[in-house]
Amino acid sequence: MSPTPPPPPTGIGILGLGTIGTGTARVLADNGALIADRIGHPLRLVAAADLDPDRDRGVDLSSCLLTTHPERVVDHSDVAVVVELIGGTTLARDLVVRALSAGKSVVTANKALLAHHGDELTRLAAANGVALRFEAAVGGGIPIIKALTKGLIANRIEAVYGIVNGTCNYILTEMATTGAPFERVLAEASRLGYAEADPTFDIEGIDAAHKAAILARLAFDTPVDLAAIPVEGISKLASIDTDFARRLGYVVKLVAIAKRAGPRIDVRVHPTMLPEGHLLAKVDGVFNAVVVKGDAVGETLYYGAGAGAMPTASAVVADIAEVATALARGDVRAADPCAHRVVERRELLPLEEVETGYYLRFEVQDRPGVLSRISGVLGSHQISIAQVRQHGRDREGTVPLVILTHRAREGSVRAALVEIESLGVTEGAAVVVRVEG
């Protein structure tokens, strides 16, 4: 009896040969033999599309079709897995829809695409019996998607939260350790390549919100309206805030949060003060980390490089290998992380109903009675004070006043701040940072 011949190579098509696309091609080239040994058959890069296909990228692409027309890659008869790495939500969506509709599985690192169109694309993949995988969309090389959909499948997920934007984490780490102002650290982040030319999506929390929407959808099996997620960035923070946090025993991180709130879910992104002993407190620089709390396993931490060519390419190629293995077994839907999951729409908890601790920094007039008037307003709104700190005089006639509260309702805090502003004893808006953990 002759042995069963090995499956033929799985054909791969890459859309976009930028940083991640080139990294993906390099991993396929460098570790192709190793991957083939592990999954039982080879992966073959058949075609790739880019605006500048002839540029030298330091990896041999001579054996595959190089084109400026991404449709040629999607439609190529030998391409079974389309890897979308061009970014954005317009052309990328059109190409992914084209691939899925043609019965081809898709691997993507595009968090914006998934946050805006994930439910549509998930349904389309199911309707056409193919897989849509997106490990690299959250956390770069950290296998958080697989943890949520496979490793923790025995758990009812109670919460998933973490540091999912390396640019913001680098900036906040540097502000805390050097005392440098936000603008100077942002400029240094740009020089080092940690921030985009236009860093708005990062520093205003939009990138983290895209990832929060993806994590919440998987953790709680519910579609998440991206526009309904409360989002605040880090651009209003000053080094005085990171310094006060340290004095109070906390660190400041931009945290994406998704957790159960009864029948609803609480999803939000904002700067957050965490106790120095918290799991996320020592995650510094450009690294990412995500905590998942399951009812059986408790809290688990997933840590690693959240961006970069090779860490992200590692996740992309792992997804390709999963799809190729499922294809060889004749059940490609087995590679889809959303297959067989029952989706139930859950209401998002309004920000006004969120309860947490608060760090409040006021610039107040340097005269007697100011603290008592402010604390009186807070008390009238049922907001209890945990700590009070005052700094030296910041500028002529005013001093920074910091109040740390016990748990309070967001709506009450906002109403109190409006009333405090009307007292005429503060200058400018108060800086507000929520306290968790």
Residue bearing the bigger pLDDT, 313 or 307: 313
DSSP labels, 140-185: TT--HHHIIIIITTTS-EEEEEEE--HHHHHHHHHHHHH---HHHH
| Among candidate residues 130, 360, 348, 337, the one with its CA nearest the CA of residue 258 | 348
Res 1: pLDDT? 54
Res 362: pLDDT? 96
Q: In sequence order, which residues have a C-beta less than 8 Å from that of residue 238 and are 6 or more positions away?
A: 181, 182, 431
Class of domain 144-305: alpha beta
Q: Which of 171-185, 280-294, 316-330, 381-395 has the lowest mean pLDDT?
A: 381-395
Q: 136 with 312: CB under 8 angstroms?
A: yes
Res 397: pLDDT? 79
Residue 146 has pLDDT above 90, yes or no: yes
Q: Give the mean pLDDT of the chain.
A: 95
Res 3: pLDDT? 64
Residue 280 has pLDDT above 90, yes or no: yes
Tens-digit pLDDT profile for residues 374-430: 999 999 999 999 999 987 665 567 999 999 999 999 999 999 999 999 999 999 999
Q: Which residues make beta-bridge pairs with 269? A: 231, 256
Residue bearing the bigger pLDDT, 287 or 391: 287
- Burial class of residue 333 in the structure, from the number of CB atoms within 10 Å of its CB (0-12 exposed, 13-18 middle, 19+ buried): middle
CATH architecture classification, 352-435: 2-Layer Sandwich (3.30)
Which CATH number describes the domain made up of 10-140+309-335? Answer: 3.40.50.720
Tens-digit pLDDT profile for residues 199-254: 999 999 999 999 999 999 999 999 999 999 999 999 999 999 999 999 999 999 99
Q: 220 with 214: CB under 8 angstroms?
A: no
Res 393: pLDDT? 63
Domains of the chain by residue range: 10-140+309-335, 144-305, 352-435
pTM comes to: 0.94
Averaged pLDDT, 158-171 = 97
Averaged pLDDT, 3-17 = 87
Res 167: pLDDT? 96
Q: How many residues does the chain have?
A: 437
Res 392: pLDDT? 65
Res 155: pLDDT? 97
Res 341: pLDDT? 87
Q: In sequence order, which residues have a C-beta less than 8 Å from that of residue 170 and are 6 or more positions away?
A: 185, 189, 194, 285, 286
Q: Which residues are known catalytic residues?
A: 211
Tens-digit pLDDT profile for residues 329-387: 999 999 999 998 888 999 999 999 999 999 999 999 988 999 999 999 999 999 999 99
Name the residue with tokens 């502003």: 421
Tens-digit pLDDT profile for residues 73-108: 999 999 999 999 999 999 999 999 999 999 999 999
